């Protein structure tokens, strides 16, 4: 996410360019960094099963129905899907019970009628879409209620950075068990979960919730142990589980080594050499070479983010995602740990992020610092017609941990900032409407340096953990653009807001959605709202290779001057604003409005409370000695 609570030093790069250059030279001579290899575009995961490409249509010009641009189809299909999803939601308690039984093959949990009254009173639209929650909880049905309760308390007692939210007699508190129940030594995530349950806590039995204080997922149960949910700490470690009290890896393994063990024995990830290999590209720093054939990887559009991407099948891709290098130790036993996000394969139970639920100036759109409330419109919001049409990103160099060190140049944020900072003369293939008012699309090969100068406003604002970057701070500064920090009001001046994973999920996603700008989101994480939101309607999904970013911009905002010159366009003389395709800009604004409407109607605080209310009812049934008595029967 955008801001981690790191113990590492953060070096804020608010310095003149000349100072940065001199600093870089000094560090290059003082520090040396070696890396095992370079990654090529051929090994950047694009998840081809979720991409749409334009059919080949000749060597120079795209015309007619064969050349129909994929983006309008993706947008129209997304709108149809979402309308159908809304229309299918249950309209009565009886219908909701029937739908629950149809989906999950069991009765709803006790209190389902109270939950239904809550969602109806608060006009909650998504009342049936809880498949992600059901999937998170399904493994715990193999435990007894007593074992489930024990695991929840053990997690808070034995695992670093796990707090406890406990309900006793309808009253709730957040504590840190390891600090002898010190209520002041608890994470913001635990405190905000306490707020989320406040409206219905008196309806719940006595319960213990283990809340992950970190943003990263924690639970990775080896494939061989999935059918042995009753494994204990003593059986696993032959002690009281003190192995888990080590706060980080400290050279004693890595997230990836734990992750690959969750994969089936016959998967590629379980083959040791395949999972460890680093791909060489003969030292070149150009990771994204366009294909020799049109349209190539530059013109393949992801249908959704890579939250379902299988690293078991493509293990080399783990090198490109920083959460596999987290410093925080994972847990090889099935514990009911509640976390704000998780990658595919993790066993955590998803809950809303405190950044999405909370109200802070740094993470909340239209937050009023004076009255301490959220307004409908941010006072600094820029009218659409005056917004800059460059792609905007500011953030710290968070993106992963350092266990093992040396891989940070290939983390998700570093890769994008380096790509957007490139001054290479390598070409990218850009497709755009010419003239802008037509559906006649042409393509041109344009140097990436020119494209970056025209459409990218992307930079890091501070360096975190730079001493683990190969070559140190100096090399990091040379490899990426750094600029001054930005507050949320700076974002609202741009049409395109880039949302990239940080140490884990992005904490600013909901704030971005609340604005009148468009979010371009790339992520490998599943969150509580993943079943509720529709890519290409509420935001633009971006593959983890980022290769299509230039063509996303070209469809909505038109060709750059260099692209128009290469294509010998008749509109080269027009101003930048006149070159913007009318249909493209209207469609872009439609996404901005749809995202804002979703945030104001489905991504509200009360929607998160409805999600947590239902989670608590399911959780209470799992914790019961006699689960049959915890069913709701209509």
Please report, rounded to a whole number, the percentage of residues in the chain having pLDDT higher than 70.
81
476-493 pLDDT, tens per residue? 999 999 999 998 889 999
| Cα→Cα distances 377→123, 319, 368, 460, Å | 21, 40, 10, 28
Task: Count the Cβ atoms, other than its own, within 10 Å of residue 529.
Answer: 22
Mean pLDDT of 302-307: 92
The single residue listed with the structure tokens 């700076």 is 490
Question: For residue 512, is it left (φ>0), alpha (ψ between -120 and 50) or beta?
Answer: alpha
Of 70-74, 180-184, 379-383, the poorest mean pLDDT is in 180-184
Rounded distance between C-alpha atoms, residue 258 and residue 222, angstroms: 8
Mean pLDDT of 382-397: 95
pLDDT at 16 over 80: no
Confidence class for position 470, pLDDT limits 50, 70, 90: very high
Q: Is 369 exposed, middle or buried (0-12, 13-18, 19+ CB in 10 A)?
A: exposed
Of 182-191, 238-247, 492-501, 549-558, the poorest mean pLDDT is in 238-247
H-run or E-run covering 421: helix 412-421
The pLDDT of residue 511 = 93
The pLDDT of residue 14 = 41
Supply the angle between the helices 605-622 and 112-121 in degrees, to the nearest 10: 180
Q: Is 59 exposed, middle or buried (0-12, 13-18, 19+ CB in 10 A)?
A: exposed
Confidence class for position 393, pLDDT limits 50, 70, 90: very high
Rounded distance between C-alpha atoms, residue 599 and residue 595, angstroms: 6
Answer yes or no: are the C-beta atoms of 208 and 214 closer than 8 Å: no
Confidence class for position 280, pLDDT limits 50, 70, 90: very low
When comparing pLDDT for 30 and 118, which is higher? 118
Answer yes or no: are the C-beta atoms of 359 and 171 closer than 8 Å: no
The pLDDT of residue 566 = 85
pLDDT at 631 over 50: yes
pLDDT at 279 over 80: no
The pairing of beta strand 367-368 with beta strand 349-350: unpaired
When comparing pLDDT for 36 and 354, which is higher? 354
Mean pLDDT of 342-368: 87
Mean pLDDT of 60-79: 70
Mean pLDDT of 440-447: 87
The pLDDT of residue 573 = 83
159-215 pLDDT, tens per residue? 989 999 999 999 999 999 877 655 568 999 999 999 999 999 999 999 999 999 999
The pLDDT of residue 115 = 98
Those residues whose C-beta lies under 8 Å from the C-beta of residue 49, and which sit 6 or more positions away, are: none
pLDDT at 11 over 50: no
pLDDT at 472 over 80: yes
Rounded distance between C-alpha atoms, residue 615 and residue 105, angstroms: 17
Q: What letter would DSSP give residue 219?
A: B
pLDDT at 282 over 90: no
Confidence class for position 284, pLDDT limits 50, 70, 90: very low
Answer yes or no: are the C-beta atoms of 11 and 397 closer than 8 Å: no
Rounded distance between C-alpha atoms, residue 393 and residue 462, angstroms: 13
Answer yes or no: are the C-beta atoms of 16 and 468 closer than 8 Å: no
Supply the angle between the helices 582-601 and 70-87 in degrees, to the nearest 10: 30
Answer yes or no: are the C-beta atoms of 337 and 208 closer than 8 Å: no
Confidence class for position 7, pLDDT limits 50, 70, 90: very low
The pLDDT of residue 48 = 37
Confidence class for position 399, pLDDT limits 50, 70, 90: confident
Of 274-288, 354-368, 469-483, 494-508, the poorest mean pLDDT is in 274-288
456-464, strands of its sheet edge to edge:
10-12, 456-464, 388-396, 494-500, 518-522, 540-541
Confidence class for position 434, pLDDT limits 50, 70, 90: confident
552-611 pLDDT, tens per residue? 999 999 999 988 888 888 888 888 788 888 999 999 999 999 999 999 999 999 999 999
Contacts 24+ apart (CB under 8 A), 201-204: 201/167, 201/170, 201/171, 201/172, 202/170, 203/111, 203/114, 203/170, 204/111, 204/167, 204/170, 204/616, 204/617, 204/620
Could you tell me the pTM of the whole model? 0.87
The pLDDT of residue 384 = 95
Q: Taking the mean position of all CA atoms in its chain, how far away is CA 564? A: 35
Confidence class for position 102, pLDDT limits 50, 70, 90: very high
* Residue of 509, 494, 571 lying closest to 541 (CA atoms): 509
H-run or E-run covering 237: helix 233-237
pLDDT at 401 over 60: yes
DSSP 3-state of 269: helix
């Amino acid at each position: 996410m955008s801001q981690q609570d790191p113990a590492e030093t953060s070096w804020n790069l608010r310095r003149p360019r000349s100072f940065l250059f001199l600093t870089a030279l000094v560090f290059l001579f003082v520090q040396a960094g070696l890396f095992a290899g370079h990654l090529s575009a051929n090994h950047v995961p694009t998840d081809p099963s979720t991409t749409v490409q334009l059919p080949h249509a000749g060597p120079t010009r795209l015309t007619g129905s064969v050349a129909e641009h994929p983006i309008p189809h993706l947008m129209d299909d997304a709108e149809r899907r979402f309308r159908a999803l809304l229309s299918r939601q249950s309209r009565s308690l009886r219908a909701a019970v029937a739908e629950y039984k149809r989906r999950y093959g069991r009765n709803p949990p006790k209190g389902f009628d109270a939950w239904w009254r809550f969602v109806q009173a608060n006009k909650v639209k998504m009342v049936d879409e809880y498949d992600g929650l059901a999937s998170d909880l399904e493994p715990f049905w193999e435990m007894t209620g007593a074992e489930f309760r024990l695991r929840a308390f053990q997690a808070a007692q034995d695992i670093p950075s796990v707090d406890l939210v406990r309900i006793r007699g309808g009253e709730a508190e957040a504590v840190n068990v390891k600090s002898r129940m010190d209520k002041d030594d608890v994470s913001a995530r635990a405190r905000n979960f306490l707020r989320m349950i406040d409206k219905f806590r008196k309806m719940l039995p006595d319960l213990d919730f283990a809340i992950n204080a970190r943003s990263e997922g924690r639970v990775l149960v080896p494939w061989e142990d999935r059918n042995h949910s009753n494994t204990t700490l003593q059986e696993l470690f032959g002690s009281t589980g003190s192995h888990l009290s080590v706060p980080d890896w400290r050279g004693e393994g890595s997230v990836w080594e734990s992750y690959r063990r969750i994969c089936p024995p016959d998967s590629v990830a379980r083959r040791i050499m395949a999972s460890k290999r680093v791909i060489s590209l003969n030292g070149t720093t150009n990771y994204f070479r366009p294909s020799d054939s049109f349209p190539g990887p530059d013109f393949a559009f992801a249908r959704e983010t890579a939250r379902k991407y299988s690293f078991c099948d493509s293990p080399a891709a783990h090198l490109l995602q920083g959460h596999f290098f987290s410093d925080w130790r994972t847990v090889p036993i099935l514990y009911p740990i509640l976390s704000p996000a998780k990658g595919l394969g993790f066993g955590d139970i998803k809950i809303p992020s405190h950044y999405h639920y909370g109200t802070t100036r740094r993470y909340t759109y239209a937050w009023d610092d004076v009255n301490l409330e959220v307004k409908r419109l941010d006072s600094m919001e820029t009218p659409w017609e005056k917004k800059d049409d460059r792609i905007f990103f500011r953030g710290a160099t968070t993106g992963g941990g350092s266990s093992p060190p040396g891989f940070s140049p290939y983390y998700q944020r570093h890769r994008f900032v380096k790509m957007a900072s490139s001054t290479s003369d390598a070409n990218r293939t850009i497709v755009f409407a010419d003239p802008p008012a037509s559906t006649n699309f042409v393509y041109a090969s344009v140097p990436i340096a020119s494209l970056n100068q025209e459409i990218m406003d992307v930079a890091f604002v501070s360096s975190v953990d730079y001493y683990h970057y190969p070559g140190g701070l100096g090399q990091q500064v040379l490899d990426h653009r750094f600029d001054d920090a930005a507050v949320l009001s700076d974002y609202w001046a741009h049409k395109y807001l880039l949302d990239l994973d940080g140490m884990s999920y992005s904490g600013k996603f909901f704030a971005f959605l609340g604005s009148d700008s468009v979010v371009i989101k790339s992520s490998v994480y599943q969150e509580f709202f993943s079943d509720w939101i529709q890519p290409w309607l509420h935001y633009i999904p971006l593959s983890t290779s980022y290769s299509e970013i230039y063509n996303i911009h070209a469809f909505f905002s038109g060709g750059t001057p260099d692209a128009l010159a290469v294509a010998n366009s008749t509109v080269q003389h027009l101003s930048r604003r006149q070159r913007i395709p009318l249909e493209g800009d209207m469609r872009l604004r439609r996404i901005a409005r749809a995202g804002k409407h979703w945030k104001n109607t489905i991504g509200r605080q009360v929607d998160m409370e409805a999600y947590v209310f239902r989670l608590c009812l399911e959780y209470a049934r799992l914790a019961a000695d006699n689960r049959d008595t915890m069913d709701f029967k209509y």
